[in-house]
Each structure stands twice: as C-alpha cells, then as structure tokens.
A = this chain, B = another copy of it.
Amino acid sequence: MQYPEPIAKLIDSYTKLPGIGPKTATRLAFYTLGMNEEDVQDFSKALISAKTDLTFCSICGNITATDTDPCVICRDQSRDQSTVFVVENSRDVMAMENTRDYHGLYHVLNGVISPSAGTGPEDINLPSLIRRLSEHEEIKEVIVGTNANAEGEATAMYLARLLKPAGIAVTRLAHGLAVGSDIDYADELTLIKAVQGRTKL
C-alpha cells in the first residue's frame, strides 16, 4: 500500500536530504502536516529563496545574498586587507567570525583538493585566489584553514608550494589539544602534533 500522493511526495523530498532515511522522512512528513500553515508557507518559500536569492561572492567565494555581491566582508574596508584566511566552505567563515578574533579577509574554496574524488585545483574556487593575490599586492599572508584531514592537508601543501615562491607568507592553523580536553582521550596523531608544535612558556 502507498501513502496518498501528496504525503508520499513530501516523504520522497525529505528522503533526499543527507542522513534522513525513509523512517525519519515519514516522521517529518507527518509532523509537517501538523505544523501551522504559516510555518509551512515560510519553509516552502525559504527553499526557493535559498536557491534563487543566494550567490557566491565574486571576490572571495563566500555565500552572499544576490543583491550583496561582493559580500559584506569583502566590502568592509575597516578589515585588515593584508591577510586572507582560506577555508573550505561558508560554515567555516561563520565559525571563524564567531570567535570575533580575526579581522582579515577570507577566501572560500567551496571544496577541497581530493585526488581520490578526482577534484583538482581547477575544480574548486582556487584559480580566483591566485588571481586575487596577483592583483592585490597588499596581501602579505595567507592562513590556510582547511580541515585537519588528508584532503585538507593536501590542499594546504598545494597552496604553500604555489604561493611561497611569490613571496607570500603561507601559514597553517595549529594542530594540538582542544582547549578543555583530556590528554588521555586525545588520539595519537593529535598528541604527536601537539608535542611538535609545543610553545615556550
């Protein structure tokens, strides 16, 4: 037996989301039926709006409203124009901005170099970084903030090799113990990195 078409279609749509299987999708669909009209209308509009009213900043690749390109960060002349923080996606920008401790610019790769997935430097937002660096000589440092996994490391290595000859300082986020964590719970690689990166007191 099949559910009536309107709910079957909604279950189908929910199932397309990552990490949501048929059981959860069914639960969500029935929950949607019980939601108030306005919330469902808003949800429906937000889906379309997210697809049509957003774009990637033409300078840094961060996500931005279509009517705000370049993005608010690239427009902000009060920010330190000499440092570019390279990240994998817009969520990383948000995480960094929430620290309120970094005041430079960003460059969002919207991906990562991954030989195993066949993603090369040309497939991500990297050529525009090279162009940006050559056009803006005021940029003195590139901080590579890709994730601390194989792909992130590969991307960092690639950037370092490419940019160092151009006289730009390329730095990488420190690896080590998370603040508040216990040494006996840290994995071995992290512990090795923490020792290698030890600092003078």
- A residues sitting closer than 8 Å to B (CB atoms) are 1, 3-7, 9-10, 12-13, 16-19, 24, 26-33, 35, 37, 39-51, 53-54, 63-65, 68, 89-91, 94, 97-98
Contacts and interface: CB of A to CB of B under 8 A. Distances in A.
A29 to B, nearest CB: 7
Given A10-B46, A43-B47, 11 more contacts: A1-B94, A4-B54, A4-B64, A9-B50, A12-B46, A13-B43, A13-B47, A17-B28, A18-B27, A37-B51, A44-B45
A33 B63 contact: yes
A1 B98 contact: yes
Contact of A91 (B12, B26, B40, B45): B26
A49 B18 contact: no
Contact of A49 (B6, B42, B48, B64): B6
B97 A46 contact: no
A54 B6 contact: yes
A36 to B, nearest CB: 9
Nearest to A71: B4
24 contacts: A3-B94, A5-B65, A6-B49, A6-B53, A7-B54, A10-B47, A13-B42, A16-B39, A18-B28, A19-B24, A26-B91, A29-B50, A30-B89, A30-B90, A30-B91, A32-B47, A32-B50, A32-B51, A35-B51, A40-B51, A41-B48, A44-B44, A44-B45, A47-B47
Contacts of A50: 6-7, 9-10, 29, 32-33, 40
A4 to B, nearest CB: 4
B65 A6 contact: yes
4 nearest A-B pairs in the assembled complex, by CB-CB distance: A1-B97, A13-B43, A10-B46, A6-B53
